[in-house]
Amino acid sequence: MLFIQTYYRMKIYAFHLLNDYSGSPKVLMQLVKGWIKNDISVHLVTSSGRNGFLSNIPGTTYHYFWYKWAANPVLRLCNLILSQILLFFTLYSKVTKEDIIYVNTILPFGAAFLGKLKGCKIVYHIHETTVKPAIFKKFVFGIAKLMANDVIYVSKFLSKQEHFKSSKVHVLYNAIEQKYLEKAIENRRKTITPCKVLMVCSLKKYKGVQEYLSLAEDNPQYQFRLVLNASKEDIAVFFTNNSLSSNIKIYDTQLDLHPFYKWADVILNLSRPDGWVETFGLTIIEGMAYGLPAIVPPVGGITELVVENKNGFLVDCRDRALLNKKLNQLLENKKTYSKMTAVSIEKINAFSEELFVQNSLAILSA
């Protein structure tokens, strides 16, 4: 008797709303590349007309839907709802019960409706829970709680913010790209006199941009660089009424951050706890790959990356005096700086890309 064994190749439909150069599409890009290497068929569903980390990934099948971001919150909400309706009907005839629906961030809720109707396994990858207005947050999280089979959080802190009773909950820390890590190791330099400060963030007041400018003004003995995920035009408008000190340089969106991390001696995240609580902190582990100590907020998932007095300091940026004190303590004390550099280099091993992908595969296969 002849037995014919059929081979089932896992197929994932991964959904992301806005393809750009921010953290959440970068994380999905790493996963997509890892899945493809493990012989998984990946269909990437995102909005059209933009370039970002999710663009032109080899081996990926693309599906696009319309979405346009708007500054007006009412118009933005209307655009989002319309985009999810379009998404649903674009993919309805393509998705089958055997496929996995992977919803990256809480926003592409149309994918969850599609997956539920088709009987698919639905996995949510939640990067943050700060969604406004409150009624919209209740709506999108309500859908996720009804639809999700598995929920992946980027930190333990985040997993405690929204409780999913009927779903399997996992914590999957973001990872450093292997190629990035190899280049970082190659480019690490031994700092003789640390004096260079770096912050990479979005162009938002709650990201501590003004506090960073004040820090540069207070410390003319150090050099500061601020890399913003924004255009030169938006940066010019934002800083119209600001007088910048001579020791700070500001850069627009950068596709290659290696030169900046190589230049820096310390990496900062100054998000204001009253305006934004960091759920992870990708730029911090990118800096850690270069052996950079960090100064970060004392709340949120970012505190799972930086341990007080080990590989950096936890400081509320609104405490200007303490922020100055800790920066000086770090850069003026060579013994402290060397110790923290060593811990950063050791700690980066916990965020390897291979471990990240394998843990995701275990969740998808369960």
Q: What's the mean pLDDT in 188-208?
A: 93
First to last CA, the chain: 32
Q: What is the pLDDT of residues 121-165, one digit of tens each?
A: 999 999 988 788 888 999 999 999 999 999 999 999 999 988 888
Q: Over the range 147-183, which residues count as b (16 or more CB within 10 Å of their CB) and which as e?
A: bbbbbbbbbebbbebbebeebebbbbbbbbbbebbeb
CA-CA-CA-CA torsion for 67, 68, 69, 73, nearest 10 degrees? -90
Q: What pLDDT is stored for residue 120 in this prediction?
A: 98
Q: Would the pLDDT of 83 be above 70?
A: yes
DSSP 128-144: ----SSHHHHHHHHHHH
Q: Would the pLDDT of 5 be above 50?
A: no
Kindly state the helix (H) or strand (E) to which residue 102 belongs, with its residue range: strand 100-104
Q: Which long-range contacts (CB under 8 A, 24 or more apart) does 130-134 make?
A: 130/276, 130/277, 131/106, 132/73, 133/73
CATH 3.40.50.300 fits 178-350, yes or no: no
Helices (H) and strands (E) in the chain, counts: 13, 13
Check residue 150 and report its DSSP letter.
E
Q: What is the pLDDT of residues 154-174, one digit of tens each?
A: 999 999 988 888 789 999 999
Distance CA 108, CA 124 (A): 10
Q: What is the pLDDT of residues 325-353, one digit of tens each?
A: 999 999 999 999 999 999 999 999 899 99
12 burial via Cβ count (<10 Å: 0-12, 13-18, 19+): buried
Contact 309, 166 (CB under 8 A): no
Q: What pLDDT is stored for residue 3 in this prediction?
A: 47
Polymer length in residues for the chain: 366
Which sequence spans correspond to the domains of the chain?
A: 11-172, 178-350
Q: Would the pLDDT of 2 be above 50?
A: no
Mean of the per-residue pLDDT values for the chain? 94
Distance CA 298, CA 307 (A): 10
Kindly state the helix (H) or strand (E) to which residue 125 belongs, with its residue range: strand 121-126
Check residue 203 and report its DSSP letter.
S
CATH 3.40.50.2000 fits 11-172, yes or no: yes
Q: What is the pLDDT of residues 224-280, one digit of tens each?
A: 999 999 999 999 999 998 889 999 999 999 989 999 999 999 999 999 999 998 989
Contact 106, 24 (CB under 8 A): no
Q: Would the pLDDT of 6 be above 80?
A: no
Q: Which residue has the higher pLDDT, 356 or 129?
A: 356
Closest of 229, 176, 213, 199 to residue 297, by C-alpha: 199
Q: Would the pLDDT of 1 be above 80?
A: no
In the chain, what percentage of residues exceed pLDDT 70?
98
Q: Indicate if the alpha-carbon torsion angle 11, 16, 21, 27 is positive or negative.
A: negative
Do 178-350 and 11-172 have the same topology in CATH? yes
221 burial via Cβ count (<10 Å: 0-12, 13-18, 19+): exposed
SS3 244: coil
